[in-house]
Structure 1
Amino acid sequence: MSEQSKTTLKPRLLELNCHFTWRLLEEDCDIVELEERLHNQIEYLLTENKYMVHNLLAYAEHLKGDYPEAIANLEKAEEQILKANSDETNRKCLVTYGNYAWVYYHTKQYEKAQIYIDKVASIFQELKSSSQDSSKLPEIYGEQGWSLLKFCGQYYAKSKECFEKALETDPDDPEWNSGYATVVYRMEGFNGRRCPADECKSVPLLQRAVKLNPKDSVVKALLGLKLQDLNQVTQAQKYIEEALEQTPNLPYVLRYVAKFYRRAGKTEEALKVLKRAIGLTPTSGFLHHQIGLCYRQKMIRQKNASARYGRSYSQNTGNHSEEVKELIQKAIFHFEMALEHKKTFIFAYTDLANMYTEAKRYHKAEETFKKALDIKKLTEEEKQQIHFNYGRFLENYMRSETEAVKHYREALLISELTRERQSSEVALKRLADRMVKRDASDATGFCLLGFLYKLNQNTRKAIECYEKASELDPDNEEYLSVLCDLKLTI
């Protein structure tokens, strides 16, 4: 192919609707961890649409530069689509053929790339001649939705839009309903968000998905967890038990069942299920994290029991402190394993740092908080979570009020309404009151109170506090600047 032909090929490639044009950015995802998850899904998921997993895996292999594996996965995807021999066969092939064209382009096999571009054009021409609207193909929107959902949490909103477009054309498709319900469920709890019951939209969507495909045990388990969130315990347990009975050895169901048991306080049952799941997928960061949470839960119970019953409890149960130490070490081990397999798992970072603190390994705890903050492309909620936990650590264990205030402020300045933001505000108010009470001639406490009043739009009280801070520290330009800005708003 001539250089001119190669140049004209690129614009046509950019017109294709496939993984290479969906802006799935390598820096937004741990590719090795994604690849591992996709291999597990190919092995364990019970679905007729595994071709979509192979397509995404082919794209992941491209990001690693392994083009023979990328081609091998595209061949498997195509084979599965053709084997199904449904009315949607040609439409389902569109994404796969687009991926083929891009892979061949990257490997400088331009003639082959052209062949697949022509195949896509031919299918669209066929659809046009049969009066089908080729601009609204649910097969493309649905596959894009699943790919975005599996790639990373930052793409959930776009994934939701894709499933909505797929359902506009094909409202009763079980796969797109499952995807839509799953992404809405994930968005409601993303990064530890607490979704109020009156704002919860996932329950009817999950119920519809289960109705359309009663064999989908994963969606059934998610419905059980969501109903548990809403304190509908009896119904929740019914779906959890059904999911477990349907697929007793499916890792994705086992992990949700274990989460249900752990949140219900049934730690031993949760551990039993998790150990079965980890035997099937030993490198799952999610499972290791869940096991760590179970050991943390047991540790907290032991400490609370000791506090309630005092020394007599320890004497009756043996060396209590040794048991607590053992639980702490087990939790640390599994949190470390979670991060070994999923290096951007923010919950695992904060849980590990907090557990190092329990073990009085303060240097390791601080090192872990700093590592978490150094991760690129953190979401606002993730930053909030790290700053709050780091601030609490600095205040309570390093006795560094000044540094703690910095991190509480960072958490509070992020507008996301999370539990960590609320706790940071409470912590700052407590520290500000303590500073003022301890030394009324120190401007820092009044400045901090002014900052809190300003954030809550109580301008009058904020001005009073900054005026007091300026009286005590008249040369502080920051206090004067904020005070001037506040007075201009009146």
Structure 2
Amino acid sequence: MSESLKGKPKQHLEQLKCHFTWKLLLKDTDLEELEDRLCDQLTFYVTKNKYMVYNLLAYVMHLKGDYTKAIANLQKAEEMIKENNPDGTDQKYLVTYGNYAWVFYYLNQYEDAQKYIEKVEKIYKELKDKPDIADIYGEKAWSLLTFCGKYYEDAKQCFEKALELEPEDPEWITGYATVVYRLEGFYGGNCPASECKSLDLLKRAVEKNPNDAVVKALLALKLQDLDRTDEGRPYIEEAIKQAPNLPCLFRHAAKFYRRAGMVDEALRVQKTALGLIPNSASLHHQIGLCYRQKYLIYKKQSESRNSHNRYKDSEEVKDLIQNTLFHFEKTLELKKTFIFAYIDLANMYSEAKEYRKAEDTFRTVMAFTNLEEEEKQQIYYNYGYFKEYHMKSEAEAIDYYKKSLQITLLGSKRELCEESLKRISLRKIRNNIHDAEGFALLGFVHKTNGERNEAIDCYEKALKYDPYNEEYVSELSELKMMI
């Protein structure tokens, strides 16, 4: 059999259901940051499913080319399964054995690889070749959820499959609630209660997992999304009492406090967590957001104070800017793929009047080749704002506002781009009733929003004042054909 495996290297291996066949791609994650997160979970989490963490960590070691550590983590996974599943079936070993087979294959140890393939086949025979196993769907879902945000939708589908097979399993209930919550967060968390599926799912997860402090914190954050902060606060406070040394929980609690305007309380819990995990990109980002919020408050207050206090405030504001920059820069040092941290850092460089650094940071993040549409929308809006208000380049600002508006995802940044373009176009028209560009820009906004008749009217006015403009002719012709 080992010769067969060697002759047809992946024919048997690709049939295994494990991390090596789940298309967890290196380009979609920051390996060092992911490894740190997994090690933190092993250090601070108390759960019988730590074997999943070891399995994913073994795959990370494979991506790093360290097969000694990969095998060590698989051995740990095997120990954890045995320790927590003394009388259960062997189906929990399927993913681990599949990972073993792949690791030995990459080490050219074909006999060992074949041994684990046969272990998998034996378990399936004992299960009477049952094709669908909740443990596999659940572990795949958890791994996708942990690996990167691009995989959340696939993770959701896997949790649904696991729940079809084991509808009362607390782990799958919690995982499903978590991924739905995160998916809703991609759209700003501002959906009305009637459309927020995660609210009821999180409530059910809390009922099923009363000892899970993290899911209580997520429920508190969801209630806060729905302007029910007072309802959410008891969940946060109960969670902190329940797990006073859990860094992940502190991150959620800090976010809750920051959004509630309790910035100093948010900083306090974040710094406590940072003492436990000093290399957390997420924590540094959240601390940066708190310092930025304090800076914006001081900036607003300083406008109405006398000159002496203004000078005093300017020193405090300077410190806040530097603290914000330090933590945003540290975030990207630790996690080079943190897209929104680039935006935050670039915007803060702008506030500090470090325009070259702001420009370079925007250019760096725009050069990423795997940006999601929401990420592009936010980058283009913020870059347009930077060009308009800091670089005084209205033409460049318009270009990027238009790029952002053309991304059809609904959200606050798209609305802001629409408002900005309308503001610029109407100002142009007020200043000069014959301003063709102002009418064309307004026509572009109407066209992007599907308001064709209004767009035609605007482009006709633009052509009236600039009759030989090829762009306006083309746009008008296209609109009339659509009608």
- TM tier, shorter chain? over 0.9
TM-score between both structures, scaled by the size of structure 2: 0.96
Deviations 1:455-482 (A, max 9, x none): 2222222122222333433443322222
Partner of residue 261, structure 1:
257
Deviations 1:154-181 (A, max 9, x none): 1101101111111111111111111111
* Number of residue-to-residue matches in the alignment: 483
Hey, what's the Cα distance between the residues in 1 that align with 2:133 and 2:365? 41
Partner of residue 147, structure 1:
143
Hey, what's the Cα distance between the residues in 2 that align with 1:78 and 1:347? 38
SS of alignment partner, residue 17 of structure 2: coil
Please state how far the C-alpha of 1:372 moved relative to its aligned partner.
1.2
Could you say if the C-alpha distance between residues 403 and 420 of structure 1 is closer, same or farther in structure 2, counting changes exceeding 3 Å? same
Contact 1:153 / 1:190 at 8 angstroms: preserved in 2? no
Contact 2:267 / 2:287 at 8 angstroms: preserved in 1? yes
Please state how far the C-alpha of 1:191 moved relative to its aligned partner.
6.3
> Aligned to 2:316, which of 300, 315, 323?
323
> Aligned to 1:310, which of 289, 305, 312?
305
Matches within 5 A, 1:80-91: 80-91=80-91
> Does residue 199 of the first structure (1) align with residue 195 of the second (2)?
yes
Partner of residue 346, structure 1:
339
> Does residue 453 of the first structure (1) align with residue 446 of the second (2)?
yes
> Does residue 118 of the first structure (1) align with residue 118 of the second (2)?
yes
Contact 1:74 / 1:96 at 8 angstroms: preserved in 2? yes
Contact 2:2 / 2:114 at 8 angstroms: preserved in 1? no
Please state how far the C-alpha of 1:306 moved relative to its aligned partner.
1.7
Partner of residue 277, structure 1:
273
Deviations 1:233-287 (A, max 9, x none): 3331111011100111110111111111111111111111111100111111110
Please state how far the C-alpha of 1:446 moved relative to its aligned partner.
2.0
Could you say if the C-alpha distance between residues 232 and 459 of structure 1 is closer, same or farther in structure 2, counting changes exceeding 3 Å? closer
Please state how far the C-alpha of 1:193 moved relative to its aligned partner.
4.9
2:117 partner amino acid: I
Please state how far the C-alpha of 1:87 moved relative to its aligned partner.
4.4
Hey, what's the Cα distance between the residues in 2 that align with 1:327 and 1:475? 52
Partner of residue 417, structure 2:
424
> Aligned to 1:221, which of 209, 217, 221?
217
Contact 2:437 / 2:462 at 8 angstroms: preserved in 1? yes
Hey, what's the Cα distance between the residues in 2 that align with 1:42 and 1:2? 35
Unmatched segments (≥5 aa) in structure 1? none
Please state how far the C-alpha of 1:414 moved relative to its aligned partner.
0.5
Contact 1:189 / 1:195 at 8 angstroms: preserved in 2? no
> Aligned to 2:184, which of 179, 188, 203?
188
Contact 2:187 / 2:411 at 8 angstroms: preserved in 1? no
Please state how far the C-alpha of 1:80 moved relative to its aligned partner.
0.7
Hey, what's the Cα distance between the residues in 1 that align with 2:451 and 2:203? 44
Please state how far the C-alpha of 1:298 moved relative to its aligned partner.
1.0
Partner of residue 436, structure 2:
443
Please state how far the C-alpha of 1:22 moved relative to its aligned partner.
0.7
Contact 2:383 / 2:400 at 8 angstroms: preserved in 1? yes
Could you say if the C-alpha distance between residues 200 and 86 of structure 1 is closer, same or farther in structure 2, counting changes exceeding 3 Å? farther
> Does residue 234 of the first structure (1) align with residue 227 of the second (2)?
no
SS of alignment partner, residue 168 of structure 2: coil
1:301 partner amino acid: I
Contact 2:202 / 2:215 at 8 angstroms: preserved in 1? yes
1:310 partner amino acid: R
Hey, what's the Cα distance between the residues in 2 that align with 1:12 and 1:196? 48
> Does residue 15 of the first structure (1) align with residue 10 of the second (2)?
no
Contact 1:443 / 1:470 at 8 angstroms: preserved in 2? yes
When the two chains are superposed, the root-mean-square deviation of aligned CA atoms in Å is 1.7
Partner of residue 472, structure 2:
479
TM-score between both structures, scaled by the size of structure 1: 0.95
Partner of residue 297, structure 2:
301
Hey, what's the Cα distance between the residues in 2 that align with 1:270 and 1:426? 32
> Aligned to 2:161, which of 147, 150, 165?
165
> Does residue 62 of the first structure (1) align with residue 93 of the second (2)?
no
Hey, what's the Cα distance between the residues in 2 that align with 1:52 and 1:228? 31
Contact 1:94 / 1:120 at 8 angstroms: preserved in 2? yes
